[in-house]
C-alpha cells in the first residue's frame, strides 16, 4: 500500500455505524413503498428461513468435496441454497394447504382460492 494509515478503533466504529445508518436511511427513503415483490418476500421470509439450513447442508455435502477454487464453491453453495429454498417454497409449501401452517403461513380460505384461480 502507498499509505500506511492507522485509524483509532473508536473512529472506525463510529464510521461503520454512520455507513449502516446511511444504508438504512436510503432504504427507508427509496424502498419504503408497497410492491408485489415486497409482499411476496415478506410472506416467504419465515419459510425460506426454515428451509435454507436443509439446502445449505445439502449443498455443503455435494459441493464442498469438489476440487475447485474456494470462491467458486462459495458462490455455488449460496446459489444452490437460494434457488432450492425458493423453489421448494414456491412449488410445495405455498401451494399445499396442510404444509402452510407448519411453516408459519396462514391457511387459505375457500374465498381466497376462488378469487386466485
Query: Is residue 86 a contact partner of residue 48, using CB atoms and an 8 Å limit?
Result: yes
Give 46-69 pLDDT, tens digit per residue: 999 999 999 999 999 999 999 999
Alpha helices in 5-117 (DSSP H): 9-31, 36-63, 70-88, 110-116
Calculate mean pLDDT across residues 90-113. 79
d(CA 88, CA 52): 10
What pLDDT does 116 receive? 57
**The cell 445508518 sits on which residue?**
21
Nearest to 116 by CA among 95, 87, 93: 95
Burial class (CB in 10 A: 0-12, 13-18, 19+), 47: buried
Is it the case that residue 13 has pLDDT exceeding 80?
yes
The number of residues making up the chain comes to: 117
Is it the case that residue 102 has pLDDT exceeding 60?
yes
What pLDDT does 33 receive? 87
Is it the case that residue 117 has pLDDT exceeding 70?
no
Annotated domain spans of the chain: 35-116
**Pairwise pLDDT comparison (77 vs 107), residue with the higher score:** 77
Nearest to 92 by CA among 57, 53, 44: 44
Amino acid at each position: 500500500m502507498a499509505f500506511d494509515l492507522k485509524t483509532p478503533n473508536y473512529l472506525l466504529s463510529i464510521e461503520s455505524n454512520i455507513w449502516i445508518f446511511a444504508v438504512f436511511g436510503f432504504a427507508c427513503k427509496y424502498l419504503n413503498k408497497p410492491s408485489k415483490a415486497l409482499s411476496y418476500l415478506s410472506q416467504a421470509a419465515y419459510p425460506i428461513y426454515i428451509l435454507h439450513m436443509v439446502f445449505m447442508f445439502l449443498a455443503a455435502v455435494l459441493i464442498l468435496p469438489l476440487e475447485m477454487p474456494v470462491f467458486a464453491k462459495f458462490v455455488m453453495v449460496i446459489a444452490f441454497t437460494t434457488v432450492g429454498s425458493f423453489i421448494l417454497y414456491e412449488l410445495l409449501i405455498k401451494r399445499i394447504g396442510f404444509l402452510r401452517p407448519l411453516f408459519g403461513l396462514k391457511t387459505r380460505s375457500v374465498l381466497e382460492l376462488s378469487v386466485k384461480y
